[in-house]
Each structure stands twice: as C-alpha cells, then as structure tokens.
C-alpha cells in the first residue's frame, strides 16, 4: 500500500535522505523545511503520514504536532516525530503532544517502513469513514458537529500471564482508566468482545503465544476495531516487525515506562473514540437515508431499489410482485380540524396497523404525505387484493385514539392493487396501475379496494 508522506526537517540533507528512502519504496514524498510551511502543506495536501523533525528553529516539532492535532482538518493525519534525542522526557513529550510514534536518528529503515505501513492502513480506514460521514452531511442526514473526544476514562484489558507485571500496569492505568486483567487468552478474547477501548498485550507471555492472540483479535469481527498495544522487547526485532505486520496499533518497549504507557494509551483511546464516532454517524446516516422518521417505515428511496430488484427477478421468470398504493381518506380534513400534530398521530398509528397486517416478506413504505405503498414479493394480483382488504378492514374497524386518548377518530383508507405481468412489465408501470386503481377507489366513494390488472 503506497501513501503520500510529508517529510519536515530544517536540514536539507536529512530531508533528501528520507525522501530517497521513501521514494525507493514507491511512496510519494512532500517536503517542508520549517513548522509554518509544514502546517500549510498539511492543510492543503492532506498527506497520509507526516514525518516531523523535533529540533527545528522557531517552531519545534512538538508545537507543530500540537497545532496539527488541534485542527479538525488535520488531526486525523498520523504524525511520527523524528529526532536525535533519545531521552525518556522527550519521548513522552512527543507522545503527549499527539504524535503517533517517536523514531530516533539514525532511523532504523525496517522500523520506519513497518510503522509507515501500519499507520497507512489505519489512515485508509479513517479516511473512508470520514468520506462517508461527509457524504451523509452533504445529504443532510447527519448534522455537522465539532467533536473533541478525550483519551481518559477508557476500559482497558491487560492480557499478561505474569500476574505481578499485569497488576503493576493496571495500577498505573487506574489513575485515568478502568483496567481489567486477564491471564488466559480464551477469557481475554471473550472480555475483548465486550465494551473494551484498548487491549495491552504482552507478546512475551510464557503461557500463551501473544502474537497468535493478536492475530485472533484482528481476525474476529467483534474485536478487529479494538486498538492493541503490544508490549515487546525491542531486542527481538523479528517479533516487533511481526506484531506491526499482524496489525497491532502501537508497540511499547520493556521495561515499561509509566508515563509513556499513559501517553500511548490516551492516544489509542482517543483515536478509537473518534473512529467509533465516525462509524456511529455512518450507521445513523444509512438508517436516516432509508427510513421515514415520522412513522419508522422505510422511505421511497429504499423502496425503489428493492422494487427494481424484485421486478427484474419477476421479468426473468420468477414469481410476480404485488403492490398496494394506499391513501388515508379525508386526511386534509383531519389536519384542518385537529391540527398537524393530530395528523402526525394518525400517520404513526396507521403505520403501526399497516406493518402489523402485512407479511414478514412484505415492505411497507411511507411514499409521501398520507400516501403509503406496500411492495409484496412472490405475490399474485388476487393474493395482494385479499391482503389489501384485510388492511382496510383493520383500519376502518376500530377508531384511532388521539390527543392522549381524549378523542376517537374514524379513519378509512382507499387502496389500489396491481402486480407485475410478464417480462415486458416494469415497476413504474405497475405503480401507475396501482395508483390509478387507488384514485378509482376514491372516486367510487372511498374506503374500498380496487385491483387493476395489466
């Protein structure tokens, strides 16, 4: 997987060296020589990853990173801080500024490319979620919001069969989070399928294969989106590379530094909450796009796709598709006499009665206003007509309670019925026949069902 990478360093030779290494692996490279230029390029070009030098004149890498993470347009871009500093304080400061990783010069090529590949995969997922969420906002089914999601108060699963070490990690995390400890992999997997924000996994566990457990977490649909920090011995380079290849989100060297642990945990939890927010908005947008919010029935947009597919199957020799077009009689009089709130109550109650009187395979839809449609797979004209009569009788047979039960309204409906007939018939033609039949029912006195054959 290729990516666009922004390299930021005030020393030209360092920029050229990194650019050559990345270009040889077919990455597209952008460059900047100072903090303000980096911020401008990041905002304009939206790179996939930023490799950011810490020691720069004017605005150092920590400041640039904080500015990037404070901006809603760039905070999702992974940042790798690159520096000659190797002190614990500098590493923690970098992570607390929002950086995703901290690499020390001279850069280890294998570690660099492993981290770039890992962060590129993550960025691709977030980009797709952001794009879909933006589409939902453009469609008007998601309200735009400025969201700031913290990294504290997470539920963290610590998986380690070294119980004293696990308890020390849990004790450090309990200052900000709600950690739980599991020493057995099977129990850990079950716990991970619950409401877990982060998994911290000891890859050097003696009683189980930590990397195998990481692979199981990534392959299970219920846990694949839970971030994993792998605790590793950096001297075991093959294991470190394999952990990143499997898809762990971050690595933490032993012995564990408490501040680094806290900083990495906050980063992962904050990112998970952001991706969860995007996924929740996406789910909401999909639901809103196909559902009528007043009645809870599917809407016209959803119906059209389903009806087209069923009609194609019928035209190819499958079972016919039936269709009902239903209109609530004298609905305008209800609105004029009692107000639109009562009109909405009638629509909601009618939707309940409609849904409870069609079959499980049928699709009841609010078509618009007081007009409803039922699409009926594998249904002939005479069967559709019998179901329509059942719906009519149920609506007319008992009054609608409105205004908190204080008023009883007698409501009737007129129904037109049609069904597909032959390979040349179209769903549009069937709907027109059902609509014409419905208007015929109204012209004949309302509260009746009329079927119209092709």
Residues 248/254, Cβ–Cβ less than 8 Å: no
Q: Which residue of the set 370, 371, 406, 407 is catalytic? A: 370
370 is catalytic: yes
Q: Which long-range contacts (CB under 8 A, 24 or more apart) does 386-392 make?
A: 387/322, 387/324, 387/357, 387/358, 387/359, 387/362, 388/324, 388/326, 388/415, 388/417, 388/449, 388/451, 389/449, 390/357, 391/324, 391/326, 391/353, 391/354, 391/357, 391/358, 391/415, 392/447, 392/448, 392/449
Q: What are phi and psi of 61, to 5 degrees?
A: -60, -35
Task: Give residue 314's Cα distance to chain centre.
Answer: 35
Which residues, listed in sequence order, are joined to residue 291 by a DSSP beta bridge? Answer: 298
Residues 374/310, Cβ–Cβ less than 8 Å: no
The rounded distance, in Å, linking the Cα atoms of 348 and 335 is 14
Q: What are phi and psi of 30, to 5 degrees?
A: -110, 155
Residues 159/153, Cβ–Cβ less than 8 Å: no
Residues marked active site are found at 370
């Amino acid at each position: 997987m290729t990516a666009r990478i922004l390299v930021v360093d005030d020393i030209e030779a360092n920029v050229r060296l990194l650019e050559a290494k990345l270009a040889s692996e077919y990455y597209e490279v952008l460059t900047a020589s100072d903090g303000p230029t980096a911020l401008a390029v990041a905002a304009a070009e939206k790179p996939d990853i930023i490799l950011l030098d810490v020691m720069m004149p004017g605005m150092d890498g920590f400041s640039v990173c904080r500015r990037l993470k404070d901006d809603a347009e760039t905070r999702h871009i992974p940042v790798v801080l690159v520096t000659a500093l190797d002190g614990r304080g500098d590493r923690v400061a970098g992570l607390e500024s929002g950086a995703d990783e901290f690499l020390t010069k001279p850069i280890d090529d294998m570690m660099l490319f492993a981290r770039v590949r890992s962060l590129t995969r993550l960025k691709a997922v977030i980009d797709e979620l952001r794009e879909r969420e933006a589409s939902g906002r453009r469609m008007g089914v998601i309200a735009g919001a400025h969201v700031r999601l913290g990294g504290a108060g997470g539920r963290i699963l610590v998986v380690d069969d070294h119980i004293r070490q696990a308890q020390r990690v849990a004790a450090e995390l309990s200052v900000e989070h709600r950690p739980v400890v599991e020493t057995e992999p099977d129990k850990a997997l079950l716990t991970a399928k619950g409401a877990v924000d982060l998994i911290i996994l000891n890859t050097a566990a003696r009683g189980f294969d930590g990397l195998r457990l990481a692979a199981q977490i990534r392959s299970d649909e219920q846990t694949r989106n839970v971030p994993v920090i792998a605790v590793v011995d950096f001297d075991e380079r093959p294991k470190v590379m394999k952990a990143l290849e499997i898809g762990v989100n971050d690595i933490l060297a032993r012995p564990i530094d408490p501040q680094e642990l806290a900083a990495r945990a906050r980063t992962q939890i904050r990112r998970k909450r952001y991706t969860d927010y995007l996924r929740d908005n996406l789910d909401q947008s999909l639901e809103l796009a196909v559902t009528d919010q007043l009645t809870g029935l599917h809407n016209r947009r959803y119906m059209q796709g389903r009806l087209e597919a069923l009609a194609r199957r019928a035209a190819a020799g499958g079972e016919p598709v039936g269709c009902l077009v239903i209109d609530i009689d004298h609905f305008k009089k209800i609105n004029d006499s009692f107000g639109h709130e009562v009109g909405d109550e009638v629509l909601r109650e009618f939707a309940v009665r409609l849904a409870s009187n069609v079959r499980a395979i049928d699709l009841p839809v609010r078509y618009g206003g007081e007009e409803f449609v039922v699409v009926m797979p594998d249904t002939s004209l005479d069967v559709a007509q019998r179901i329509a009569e059942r719906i009519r009788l149920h609506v007319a047979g008992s009054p609608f309670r409105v205004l908190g039960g204080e008023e009883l309204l007698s409501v009737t409906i007129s129904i037109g019925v049609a069904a597909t007939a032959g390979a040349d018939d179209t769903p549009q033609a069937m709907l027109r026949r059902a609509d014409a039949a419905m208007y015929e029912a109204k012209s004949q006195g309302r509260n009746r069902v009329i079927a119209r054959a092709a």
